[in-house]
Amino acid sequence: MSTTRTAVRVTGATLLAAALLSTPTSAISAANLARLRQDSQFTTEENLRANFDPEDFSVAIADITPTTTRQGAIVSGGLENLAVFGLSSVDSAFTRFTLQPGAHNLAHTHPTASETLFSISGTMDVFFVEANETPRLVQSVLGPESVTVFPESLIHGERCISDEPCEFISFFNTGDPGVVTVSERFCDLNDEARAAGLFLPQDQVNAICDGLGENPAPNQPESGEAVTNDNAVNTVDGGAADNDSDSDSDGDN
């Protein structure tokens, strides 16, 4: 009976591998690739790579639809939209950011990845914070042609502090780094948990969460009315954004 069960398991694995690997190249999905990665008996990495065309190993960033606000643009590539990045022999991801002067890439974490950030242009304030056991803010100024690293799962972020836009590319050591934006996910908690976390009445916390904007986000003044993505202020030179002249170019970044 033991021999029979073993034969059934091996046959089933072989049939599954054959079915997945016979899928047309253009139809390879992250889900199929993830299933193959679970058990090395299905196939070798070399056989997996053979299912991809040569052009699948190169990416034109301009062909990926960005996420944009008036404060910048984000282009991401990884297992979710580029299955080749999920191969065990590749297992990486990237993002390309543009931040307008004064804009923030909001504080966030990558639950499963460390990050290496390469600054292309502009000057940024970059930071991460340590875990509860040894709380510490690690902050520095990063100029063009410079690199910084963010340890796995720690909260971190960037702000463009130059008069020119900041551009950078980040690389991750897994094809599925994930992202958790601190302010947005905090506001997903129930009312009681949010109020307790900020030591504020629930109605005040609800008002804060209702006013959250998009990422990348504008810098905020020390006092006065909050600045929205649609009415941004360049806090580097103190000039207000020209809404009329920019209204036709929204989303072009």
The domain that contains 137 carries what CATH number? 2.60.120.10
Say if residues 146 and 154 touch (Cβ distance below 8 Å).
Answer: no
Task: Note the pLDDT of residue 96.
Answer: 98
Same domain, 168 and 192: no
Q: Helix, strand, or coil here: 182?
A: helix
At residue 38 the predicted structure's pLDDT band, cuts being 50, 70 and 90, is: low
Same domain, 172 and 75: yes
Q: Within 10 Å of residue 126's Cβ, how many Cβ atoms?
A: 22
| 63 domain residue, yes or no | no
What mean pLDDT, rounded, does the chain reach?
83
Same domain, 126 and 89: yes
| 250 domain residue, yes or no | no
Same domain, 93 and 14: no
Average pLDDT over every residue of 9-14: 35
Interatomic CA distance for residues 124 and 138, integer angstroms: 14
Say yes or no to pLDDT of 180 above 60.
Answer: yes
Same domain, 147 and 111: yes
Same domain, 143 and 92: yes
Say yes or no to pLDDT of 104 above 90.
Answer: yes
Say yes or no to pLDDT of 221 above 80.
Answer: yes
Same domain, 108 and 174: yes
Interatomic CA distance for residues 172 and 13, integer angstroms: 31
| 100 domain residue, yes or no | yes
Task: Note the pLDDT of residue 226.
Answer: 87
Q: At which of 149, 179, 209 does a domain end?
A: 179
Under DSSP, the state recorded for 7 is: H
Say yes or no to pLDDT of 249 above 70.
Answer: no
Neighbouring-strand partners of residue 124: 142, 160
Same domain, 152 and 212: no
Interatomic CA distance for residues 211 and 228, integer angstroms: 9
Q: At which of 179, 204, 227 does a domain end?
A: 179
How many structural domains are present in the chain?
3
| 62 domain residue, yes or no | no
Phi/psi at 140 (nearest 5 deg)?
A: -155, 170
Q: Each residue of 134-156: b (16+ CB within 10 Å) or e? A: eeeeeeeebebebebebeebbbb
Average pLDDT over every residue of 160-170: 98
Task: Note the pLDDT of residue 36.
Answer: 61
Interatomic CA distance for residues 154 and 111, integer angstroms: 8
Q: Helix, strand, or coil here: 176?
A: coil
At residue 224 the predicted structure's pLDDT band, cuts being 50, 70 and 90, is: confident
Phi/psi at 114 (nearest 5 deg)?
A: -90, 160
pTM of the predicted model over 0.85: no
**Beta-carbon-side half-sphere exposure of residue 168 (alpha carbons within 13 Å):** 29
Residue, of 45 and 128, whose pLDDT is higher? 128
Same domain, 162 and 92: yes
Containing domain of residue 197, as a range?
A: 185-241
Average pLDDT over every residue of 177-181: 97
Average pLDDT over every residue of 134-154: 98
Token pair of 6, please? 């073993």
Task: Note the pLDDT of residue 6.
Answer: 37
Q: Helix, strand, or coil here: 95?
A: strand
